[in-house]
Amino acid sequence: MVARLSLSPRFPAPARMTGQDLTQMGQLVKGLGVVQLGQLRRQAIMVALTSLREIDFDEAQAEEILEELLDGDAVTRVFLLL
């Protein structure tokens, strides 16, 4: 489904998605692959975080989202590993 949507000019590339885009997509966000999730901007994820928490991502997808959120924040990474 997401692959077909991505062909539409109305469907922005992951790197250009806003938090509002992610929120409006709802459960369709789960259809994004790990590579696509890695292209999301940290700010977009932060804005959509409340709605993203409701999605049952697989482990690889969840790790990628966390990676984007924690990009460069070594202190937070260590805290989460404790």
At residue 29, φ and ψ (nearest 5 deg) are -60, -30
User: Structure pTM?
Assistant: 0.78
At 34 the pLDDT is 94
At 76 the pLDDT is 56
**Single-letter amino acid, residue 5:** L
**Single-letter amino acid, residue 34:** V
What are the extents of the domains in the chain? 2-81
At 69 the pLDDT is 84
Ranges of residues in the chain with a pLDDT under 50 are: 82
